[in-house]
Amino acid sequence: MSEIKEVKADVYGYAKDTSASDGSNELVQQSKRPWWHSVKEPGSAFQIVIAAVLAIAIGIAVTTSVENIPPAATALVGIPGRLWLRALRAVVLPLIVTAMISAIQKLKAMTKGGAVLARWTIGYYLVTTCIAIVHSILMVALVWGRLMTVVGEDSLAVTDADQKTIDDRAAVKIHDVVVTTFDSLIPQNIVNALATDSLLAVLTTACVVGYLIKGPNSSLMRAVTEIEAIIIVVITFLIKLAPVGVFFLILPNLFRLDIAEIGVNLGILIGGSLTGIFIHLFIIIPLIYLAICRANPYKLWIKGSPAWITAWGSASSAATMPVTMKCVVAQGTPDVIAKFTVPLGCLINMDGTAIYFPVVVVFLAATQNITLNGAEYVIIFLLATLASIGASPIPSSSLVLTVMIAQSVNVPITGMYAVVVAIDWFIDRFRTAMNVSADLYAAAIITKLTGITDEDEVDPDLQRELEDMNRV
């Protein structure tokens, strides 16, 4: 006799199979549809991939055939993409607030798994960040650093404008980063934190509020649920527009890429950064996923393509978070894990950024004929770990922290830093895609490690206590 499957719909509108033998939630396909239906569905992964490929093809064709692309053309072509990106960013803060409040409330009411989820999530993010930095340092020390060549005095010269930028960023000391990281956890003014996109402070506040709400029947919790439902409607609409948004985000950025100006050293910098990212994305993280989840990691990554393609186009983990949340839920992640791991990963799971720091510091050193020793690589490891966690999830935030790390190992900031700044926008897109891809894997891995499901029973005594508190 065939087993009857219990199916329920979650807040994101996906049906989940809750009867899997291993306790996991699997997406239930209500009916088998031809593959070409997905191509016609607005905002589908197929449409986003097609839009990205078209934008790259057109952008490269225009860049290689037109000598000087007018800045006005680049700016005007990017308007639809910027508007779509601004709309996505507009829902990030309310999504973080409602998702974290809802997740903390569910963790409070669970008979098991609340503390386990927090420990595994933070621990996993820290471990993968450390692994990313270690293999990046090994690759740059043994391979890429030896390929880089010393440049002439003219290339090392710093213009007055660049010197002012370098001086401003050099003022950032190690202890300043540590203090700022801890300060960012507690907002001095909650309204100001919301207005200035201080996401870590907002997340901390949402966790406290979620813990202090009396119970699921409180009026505040009902309001949070209603707001979350509204946000999901907005996100669903924006995802349907994703192919258009991604196309007009990628196309104007490719107009800025001057292939003829990429020299040997700059090519090695780009190649070293991308190789480290690809090793982490296609080998290390998939091996971790395979060892823990015993499933095909690349299948999960391909299904999450709307998230990492959007990340590549926007260069912002924060702006991509609504799409990431949707993809994580679609892969069958329990609601409470999705709402806890994705916002937290958006802020501290910066594997792509961690990989980049050692490469760019060695680039600045090698072009000046400076060879770093083992102790200096240890310093880079420690500072890169701190900086990647403290880096803001907005485009090119790593540029300021790069100066701090370089000066900590006595690498002078020369005119080559201007070269790094000029190309950072391009590498940053791959770093962001790496970060978001790692969030997709993390949700599935943490689900397996914790064993938490949407069907975990609520402690009856705790539930009655919460309801009694609510009536007081």
Range from 157-171, 225-239, 261-275 carrying the lowest mean pLDDT:
157-171
| Alpha-helical runs (H) found in 144-296 | 145-147, 153-156, 160-170, 174-183, 190-195, 199-212, 219-240, 242-255, 264-279, 285-293
Residue closest to 396 by CA, chosen among 351, 432, 428, 361? 428
pLDDT bucket at 452, cuts 50 / 70 / 90: confident
pLDDT bucket at 316, cuts 50 / 70 / 90: confident
The whole-angstrom separation of Cα 415 and Cα 425 is 18
Residue 441 has a pLDDT of 96
Torsion angle, alpha carbons of 417, 359, 184, 442, to 10: 150
Residue 26 has a pLDDT of 45
Is residue 383 included in any domain, yes or no? yes
Per-chain mean pLDDT for the chain:
78
pLDDT surpasses 50 at 216: yes
Is residue 1 included in any domain, yes or no? no
458: DSSP letter: B
Residue 218 has a pLDDT of 84
Q: What percent of the chain has pLDDT over 90?
A: 19
Residue 136 has a pLDDT of 94
pLDDT surpasses 70 at 168: no
Q: pLDDT for 347-366, tens place per residue?
A: 788 899 899 999 999 988 88
Q: pLDDT for 99-137, tens place per residue?
A: 888 888 877 776 555 678 888 998 999 999 999 999 999
Residue 456 has a pLDDT of 56
How many domains does the chain fold into? 1
Range from 181-190, 257-266, 376-385 carrying the lowest mean pLDDT:
257-266
pLDDT bucket at 71, cuts 50 / 70 / 90: confident
Is residue 329 included in any domain, yes or no? yes
Residue 286 has a pLDDT of 96
Residue 299 has a pLDDT of 94
Segment 239-248 shows an average pLDDT of 86
Is residue 110 included in any domain, yes or no? yes
pLDDT bucket at 445, cuts 50 / 70 / 90: very high
Q: pLDDT for 2-36, tens place per residue?
A: 433 333 344 444 444 444 434 444 444 445 566 56
pLDDT surpasses 70 at 160: no
Segment 442-459 shows an average pLDDT of 79
Q: pLDDT for 421-435, tens place per residue?
A: 767 878 888 999 999
pLDDT surpasses 90 at 51: no
How is residue 390 written in tokens?
């403290």
Is residue 283 included in any domain, yes or no? yes
Contact by Cβ (8 Å): 317, 429? no
Looking up tokens 């803001």 gives: 392
Residue 458 has a pLDDT of 47
Residue 167 has a pLDDT of 63
Domain encompassing residue 97:
7-471
Q: With DSSP H G I counted as helix, E B as strand and the rest as coil, what are the percentages for the chain, rounded to 5?
A: 75, 0, 25
Segment 406-425 shows an average pLDDT of 78
Is residue 421 included in any domain, yes or no? yes
Residue 159 has a pLDDT of 57
Residue 15 belongs to what H/E stretch? strand 15-17
Is residue 362 included in any domain, yes or no? yes
Range from 242-246, 273-277, 443-447 carrying the lowest mean pLDDT:
242-246
Segment 293-301 shows an average pLDDT of 94
Q: pLDDT for 325-340, tens place per residue?
A: 889 998 889 988 998 8
Is residue 442 included in any domain, yes or no? yes
Torsion angle, alpha carbons of 219, 220, 223, 229, to 10: -120
Residue 449 belongs to what H/E stretch? helix 416-450
Residue closest to 342 by CA, chosen among 444, 197, 265, 248? 444
CB atoms within 10 A of CB 129: 23
∠ Cα 434 436 440 (to 5°): 110
The whole-angstrom separation of Cα 58 and Cα 74 is 13
The CATH number covering residue 434 comes to 1.10.3860.10
Residue 438 has a pLDDT of 95
Segment 80-101 shows an average pLDDT of 85
